[in-house]
Chain A
C-alpha cells in the first residue's frame, strides 16, 4: 500500500496552530506517511511541529463557514487545534489523518521507516539479554537453570525463547506444567533476593477448573523454590470471589490441600476496561479548567485512578514484604499473568533491589518484566484516554506502573538515578514511537516482525550520554536499602507531570528545578576545588620540608 493514496491533500498554506500556553502559530501544514508537520514561514524563529500519526488518539472537525477546525487529541494527552482555510482541504486532511493514525498493519508503522540520524554506539536490542541476567544469577546461586524449552515459542507463545526455572525441574516436566497454566505461562523466576536467597516467581492462573484438577509437576516446580521447613506465599492479584468465578471458565487457583506449604493471599487489582475507563475519566477531569473545587474533587474521586495506584502499590509492598521481612518465597499471578502480575513483580523489585532504581537497571527491568514477560503492549497501548473505540484489550496497565514508580520516586527523591522525565519518556514511547522497542505483543511477534533487524531500539538512542543526561536525577545517591513507600491516601498524589502537563504552565517549577541542579553542580565544583587546593597545599608543605632538610 502506498501512503500517497491516503494523502489527498499533502500541503495546505495559512494553517493556524493553537496550543495552550503558546501563542498561535501560522504556517504551512504538510502530511507525510508518518508525520503531520506544521512549519511557520516566519524566518526569525521558524517553529515546527512534528507529530507522529501514531500519536494521534482521536480527531474532531468543526466548520465555521469555509474555515475548518481540526482538534487533534494525542496519546500523550496533548490537545492541539488546527484552523484550516477551505472546506475541502480540511476534510481531506482530516480523513487522511484518521486513516494514517489507525493503520492496521504493524509493518507500516514509522519504526520500520525510521532511519536514525545518530551514531549507534551500543545496539539496544542486545543490551538486555536473558543470558546476561542468568549469568548474574548464577554467580549467586546454582539452584536455577536457563531453559531453552521455548526456543521456537512453541510451548508458550507469550514467553521469551529462554526462561529461568528451578534446576531440579526438567523440560519434560515444564511441558506438563505449561498445560496446567493459562496460556501455558508456567511459573518462572522473576527476581532473586540476594539478601536472603528468597525468590519471586510469576505465572498465570492454574487451570484447576470446577473439579479441582491438579498437576503434580506444577506442585513440584513451585515447591522446589522453598527452603526446607519454610512456607511460601502465593499472591493472587484477583479477589477471592473473582478467582472462584474463574473456575467455571477452566481457570482457578491453587488449592490449600495440594499446596500445603503455600499460603494464598488475594489482593484485588482491577483489569482492562475498568482501568481504561478510569484513565478516560481522570483525563477528562484534568482537562476541564472550569471545574469548581467540589466538582474537581468528586471527578478525581470518581475516576478511581488513585485507588488503583494504591491497590497496586499495596500488593507490591506485600510481595516485597513477604520476601524481605518474612523470608519467604513468593509466586505472583492473576489470570493471564501479563498485566497486574507484572505490575506487582516489577514494583516489588523496585522496592527491594537498588539496581532497579538505576537507569540501566530500570531499563533492564522494563525489558525483563514487561517486554520479555509478554505484556501485550500493542494491544494495551493501541489507544489512550481520548479513544472512542471501546476495545476490551486497551488498558493503561504500563502507565499505572509508571505512575506507581513516580509515587515511590516522590517519596524517595534521592534513591533513584533517573528523574520524572525518564518515566514520562517511557510513557510516550510505549504509545507512539519511532523505535521498535514497544511494537508487538510478545517476543514471538517481535521475532516474526524481525524488529531487531528492521527497526532501531529505543535503548540505542536513550543510552547515549548526551541523551541520558536529560534523565539523570541530580539528587541521586545510591541507597542500597529496601525502600518502603507509604500508601496512605495523604501520601499519594496526582502525577501532574503527565496529567496536568498540557493544562498549566510549568515554567516556574522548571526554573526551580534548574536552580536546584545549578546548586548541586556548584556544590560538586566547590568540593573538587577544595580537594585540589588541599592537595596543592600538602605538596607545598612537603616541598618546604625537603628544602629545610636537603
Chain B
C-alpha cells in the first residue's frame, strides 16, 4: 500500500513520515521516502487496532511485544481494513509449525544445526557446580516424563531420596513437580531446590514428601536447617488451601523454616505492565503524572519484590550455609525468577555471556517456564500471558546498573534475548516444556538462538567487565532500597529514540575497546616491520614497552556463520551521530512550525514537544 503515513508516537502536532507499507509472509515492512526501513515481525505484534476514520485516512495502531508502538494512517479505508485483517490472521498462529522458526533458514548445514543445539549442555553445567557428588545424584525417575511432564528428563536429587520417596513426593505436589536441585553451591555445600506447592489442603500430609525435604536438608552437612520459601503472598497461599493445595506446615516437617516472600501472581503482573505502558505511552506526560503512574502501576514494587526474594535466598545460602527450597503455585514462574536470580547473585559464571545462556536454559527452559503461554506464541488464552521473564531481565538490568563491572554482557544482550523470546525465530523458547519440544522435534526443525548470539557477541560485551571483579563463585550483594530501582527506559522505549540520551557512553566505550585491540595488533605489525628493516640497516629501534593492557574480557569460542537478519538489532546505528543536532530529529522544531501560525497567549512545551494553546 502506498502513501501510508507513519505518525510519530509522542508528537502532538502529528508529524509523520510518508512511505510504502509492505506485507510479507513473516514481516510487515515500511519504507519511508528517505528509504529508511522499519521491519516488524508478525509474531511481535501483540495487538492491532483500527481507529475511527479521520480526514487524512484510516489510522491503524500496532502494538508490539517488544514495546514498539507504530501508528500508521492508511489513505483508503478498504486498504486499511485489508491490512488489519491480514495482520490479525498473520499475528495469530494456531500451530507451532506455522511459526517463523520453521521457515527461518539461516543457511546453516545440518551438522552446524546440531552443534548449535549442543552448545548448551546442562549435564556439563551440573558437573561444573559439582554434582553428582557424595550427597547428590542424577535420578532417572523422570526418564519418560512419567512422573512430571513439565520437568526435564535429567533431574538431580539427594542420594538418600529413593525412588518411592520421589514418586510419593511428586504425587503430593501440584503438577507432580517434586523438589529437585536447581543450583548447588560447592563451597557452602548448600543447595537451591525448587518444586511446586504441596497438596496439603487444610491438613493433608505426605510422609514421602516429608522424607524428601529431610533428604534435602541432610544432603547439606553444613547446616541441618533448611528454608522453605513460598514466593507467594501469604493470603494467596492460604486461599489455595481451599482448593486442596497450600503450603508446608512447619509442624509436619522437621528442620524447616518456612517463609513467605510475597511476589504477586501472573495476573497482577500482567495488568501492572499494562498500566505502566499506558502511563509511559501518554502524550504530553508531566513529571508528576509519570511518577504517580509509575507508582500506581506497581511495576517497580514487583521488581523490587522479586529481587528482595532473591536476596533473601542468597543470604540463607551465603550466610547460614542453609539449603533453600523455593516454590510458588506451579513452580514455573516466580520460582524460576527467584532461583535464577539467586544463582546469578551467588555465582559469577552466570554473569558471563555463556553462563547467562546456561542459566536461562536451566531454570527457565528446562524447568518448564511456559514461554509459549506467557508470551502468547500461539493464539491462546490471554489470561495466560504474563511478563514474568521480562521481569527477570529487568532485575538483571538493575543489578547491572549497580555493578557495572560484574557482568560480561551489556544491556543490548538482555534486549536481544527479550526480542527473541517473542520473535519465534529460534526454537529455544518455543513451547511450554521439554516434553512438548521433543514431541514436536524442534531441535531438528528449528535453530538455536545461542550460537547466533555468541557469533555476534562483540555487540553484547560489556567493555568495563572485569572478570576479577570478584573471586570465583563470588557473591553480589545488591542494595534493594527503593531509590535504586529505576524505570527501564531502554526496554519500554527502545524504539522511541527521542527519549534516549543523544550520545551513548556504552557504544563509545565499546568502540574504543575494539579499537584498542586493533591498535595493539597494528603495533605488533609495525614493530615486526621495523625489526626487519633495522636488521638490514642499523636503525635505532624505539624501545618502548607496550603500555600495560587493562584486563581483557574472556573471549568465548564463537561458532561459525551467521547472517544478520534485518530486524535483529534496532539500535545499532553509527555511534557518534549527535541526533539532537540535526533539525529533522529534534522535537522542538515542531514548535516553530506552529509558532508561525497564530498569535499565542500561552505556549506549552510538553514532552519535549512544543505546542501552542491559544
Contacts and interface: CB of A to CB of B under 8 A. Distances in A.
Contacts of A296: 482-483
A477 B509 CA distance: 13
Given A512-B404, A536-B542, A291 B482 contact: yes
Contact of B588 (A267, A306, A325, A532): A325
Contacts of A132: none
Interface string A403-425: 00000001111110000000000
Interface in B571-614: 576, 578, 580-581, 583, 586-589, 591-592, 595, 599-603, 605, 607-608, 610
Contacts of A307: 286-288
B489 A519 contact: no
Interface stretch (B28-36, B82-90, B241-249, B511-519): B511-519
A315 B526 CA distance: 55
Contact of A490 (B483, B499, B588, B610): B499
Contact of B502 (A292, A483, A512): A483
Interface in A500-543: 500, 503-505, 508-509, 511-512, 515-516, 518-520, 522-523, 525-527, 529-530, 532-534, 536-537, 539-541, 543
A298 interface: yes
Contacts of A48: none
A321 B592 contact: yes
Q: Which of A292, A475, A486 neighbours the largest number of chain B CB atoms within 10 Å of its CB? A: A486
Contacts of A138: none
Interface residues of B, number: 88
Contacts of A4: none
Interface string A292-303: 111111101100
A515 B466 contact: yes
B108 interface: no
A547 interface: yes
A299 to B, nearest CB: 9
Contact of A533 (B501, B523, B588): B523
B487 A410 contact: no
Q: Which of B285, B486, B533, B534 neighbours the largest number of chain A CB atoms within 10 Å of its CB? A: B533
B288 A301 contact: yes
Contact of A541 (B295, B483, B533): B533
A412 B502 contact: yes
B10 interface: yes
B6 to A, nearest CB: 20
Contact of B482 (A263, A292, A413, A477): A292
Contacts of A447: none
A490 B482 contact: no
Contact of B464 (A321, A491, A516, A526): A516
Nearest to A485: B580
Given A479-B578, A487-B608, A525 B547 contact: yes
A515 B544 contact: no
A520 B591 CA distance: 39
Given A414-B503, A522-B516, A529-B547, A325 B592 contact: yes
A296 B291 CA distance: 10
Contact of A540 (B290, B485, B537, B550): B537
B417 to A, nearest CB: 22
6 closest A-B pairs by CB: A489-B290, A512-B404, A296-B482, A481-B581, A301-B291, A297-B295
Interface of A: 240, 263, 265-267, 286, 289, 291-298, 300-301, 304, 306-307, 309-310, 314-315, 317-318, 321, 325-326, 410-415, 475, 477, 479, 481-494, 500, 503-505, 508-509, 511-512, 515-516, 518-520, 522-523, 525-527, 529-530, 532-534, 536-537, 539-541, 543-544, 547
